[in-house]
Structures are given as C-alpha cells and as structure tokens.
Amino acid sequence: MPSSPEFGGWEMPLEYAGGGVLAEHKAVREGVGLFDVSHLGKALVRGSGAAELVNACFTNDLARIQPGQAQYTLCCDDDGGTVDDLIAYLRNDFEVFLIPNAANTAAVVERLRAAAPAGVEVTDLHREYAILAIQGPSSDEVLQALDLPVDHQYMSFADATIAGCDITVCRTGYTGERGYELVVPSASAVQVWDAVVAAGEPFGIRACGLGARDTLRTEMGYPLHGHELSPEISPVMARAGWAVGWKKPTFWGKDALETQRAEKTVRTLRGLAAQGRGIPRPGMTVLDAEGVEIGEVTSGTFSPTLRQGIALALIEPSTQDGATVIVDVRGRSEAFTVTKPPFVEPSTKES
C-alpha cells in the first residue's frame, strides 16, 4: 500500500498494492469493491425533540422520510456557506444518527449542541464506529453470502448481525453504483472487513482506496466538501437545491439561500467534458470563447469509464449547456464542453 495521506486526522490509502486506481475503479463499475471510509464522522442526536432539532437546523426536510430511511442534507452558515454535507439516518423522532465529513464532525456537533433544547443530547461518536462501503453490481451477492439484508430501498437502512457483531446496513454510497455501507463498532472493524473479503472472493471483490472513490464520485457529479461545497460555496451554487426544504419555516442559512436562488447571479456547478486529451485539475481557470474568465475547476480527473478528462467547475450562470469553453491546463488551452452531470449513468436506485 502506498503512503497514506491524512484526511481529517485519519490516514487513508489512496490505492491498494496489486491494484491501482484504474483497477479499483473498474471493479466497482463492473463487479464489487470494498472501501474503508471510517474517517467519515459519526454523531448521534437523541432525546425528546431530536428529529425536530435536526430538521430546524439542516437544509433538507426530515419530514419527507420515515423511520428507517436516510436523507442527504446540509449544514449551512447564516450567509448560506456550507459548513458540511452529511447523511441523516432517522431511527425515530427521538434518535437521528448523522454521518458528516471527517474534518467537519466537531463543528457540526458543536453547532447542534449550541442549538439543542433541554432533553436533547448530541454525542460525537467519531471513534466509536467504523464504516465499510461495499459498492458495485455484485454487492448484493456479497451481502447475501454474509446473510445480510439486501431488500431495503435506496436511502434506507436495516439492523443486522455479522460475525457476532451488531451492525447497521445502509443502502447508501458515493460511487453511483448499487451498494451498501456497514456501520460497525470500531472494535469489530477488522473482523467484519475480513468476513466481507472472504465472502466477496468468489465475486472478485477488490479493496479500493480514496483515489478510486474520487474518480467514481466525479463521474457521478457528486460534490466533495472542500471542493464543490465549502463555507464559500453554498448549496445553491453547488446545485444542491434539491436537498433544501424550501417550504420549511426555518433552517440555518435560509434567508441567504433564498436570496441566491431568486437572484440567480452566483456561479453554479457544471460539468466539463474534454474535447481533446486535456486532464483538468482543481483550481484551473475556465475561459469563454473570447478568453474571458468565467469560472474555476473544483474537481478534475481522467474518467476511467469514458477514457477522457472530466471536471466539475463553478461557472457563470449565463453559460449554456453544450457551450465550448477553454480550460488552462498547465499553460495549454484545452477545449471542453459544458454539460450537466452525471457523466456516467448511475445505478444506485436499481432494485
């Protein structure tokens, strides 16, 4: 395994020995891959009014889902900037389990604690649980070999037992493929990992690092905090308005986001597909046909599926889909087509 970079205080592999990003990416798109994403945060909101607190603070409307379901949502500043994007798992009105991003867990917990009424407790469980993601067309077969549930709908979860350990099986993921995430007590993480690897061997399961996770999510157009979302990039700018409960009476950043949504003047997230061989990278400048700067690349990579460069970029809202723009790729002017992600058709919701 190559050197492991630091992600929010956790050392995580970019790729595994004997594989590499391209092989790991292909395994997820065509078979099944296993990711250790234990660096993701974990927090529990519990007590009378727990669901009400989460709903009053975060953007999405928790009333849209039922107990046993999960929801993508965002935690915003008063000015609309994104503190974090996260998944909320609704167990019942008294208990909501949250999975924020690694580096932002403490900030999300602190903000919720400050807003929590008497009787609602917000607990940081970052180190108490690990998360293993099983992703790809053969993920059902791997879970079935482990006697784990596979019949629940996308964005829902079920409790189960594996190797004598109680876990939660979530029909969620970050790759665009059908898959699951297992929330496992940290003390049992290695045991569960080994069990998944053994069960997945007949299906060619491959351990995957964060390099493949990034190429997979970029092909889907999924935002990554620090790139497509940040204190300077709002959900409106990231085109995540679908995860905002606009009719809710309150949530953090509501007034600012409504203003951005109405005025339509902020740069917004778009996809870029290379017309040539250029590989875009974050921070590269986007120009229009006249050479005027109109945006900046937030994420860019070589798409292993499409065999071309792709990017996500914040671009002036007047730019039309299908337009040709220029990206300054290390001093070379490379042509790209503006498009709407995903670049690859997702299969997350397939039954």
- Is the torsion defined by CA of 46, 158, 102, 176 positive or negative? negative
The answer on pLDDT for 84 being more than 70 is: yes
The answer on pLDDT for 4 being more than 80 is: no
What's the pLDDT score for residue 5?
Answer: 57
Percent of the chain with pLDDT over 90: 92
CA angle at residue 152 from 148 to 153, to 5 degrees? 145
pLDDT digits (tens, 9 = 90+) for 161-196: 998 899 999 999 999 999 999 999 999 999 999 999
Q: Would you place residue 12 in the very low, low, confident or very high pLDDT band (cuts 50, 70, 90)?
A: confident
Cα 64 to Cα 138: distance, rounded to the nearest angstrom: 30
Domains of the chain, first to last:
6-40+128-220 (3.30.1360.120), 43-124 (3.30.70.1400), 267-339 (2.40.30.110)
What's the pLDDT score for residue 2?
Answer: 43
What's the pLDDT score for residue 1?
Answer: 40
What value does the mean pLDDT of the chain take?
Answer: 95
pTM of this structure: 0.95
SS3 per residue for the chain: CCCCCEECCEECCCCCCCCCHHHHHHHHHHCCEEEECCCCCCEEEEECCHHHHHHHHCCCCHHHCCCCEEEEEEEECCCCCEEEEEEEEEEECCEEEEECCHHHHHHHHHHHHHHCCCCEEEEECCCCEEEEEEECCCHHHHHHHCCCCCCCCCCEEEEEEECCEEEEEECCCCCCCCEEEEEEEHHHHHHHHHHHHHHHHHHCCEEECHHHHHHHHHHHCCCCECCCEECCECCCCCCCHHHCCCCCCCCCCHHHHHHHHHHCCCCEEEEEEECCCCCCCCCCEEECCCCCEEEEEEEEEEECCCCEEEEEEEECCCCCCCCEEEEEECCEEEEEEEECCCCCCCCCCCC
The answer on pLDDT for 18 being more than 50 is: yes
Sequence-distant (≥ 6) Cβ neighbours of residue 49 within 8 angstroms: 93, 117, 119, 120
pLDDT digits (tens, 9 = 90+) for 219-229: 999 999 999 99
The answer on pLDDT for 6 being more than 60 is: no
Q: Would you place residue 9 in the very low, low, confident or very high pLDDT band (cuts 50, 70, 90)?
A: low
Which one is predicted more confidently, 284 or 17? 284
pLDDT digits (tens, 9 = 90+) for 266-288: 999 999 999 999 999 999 999 99
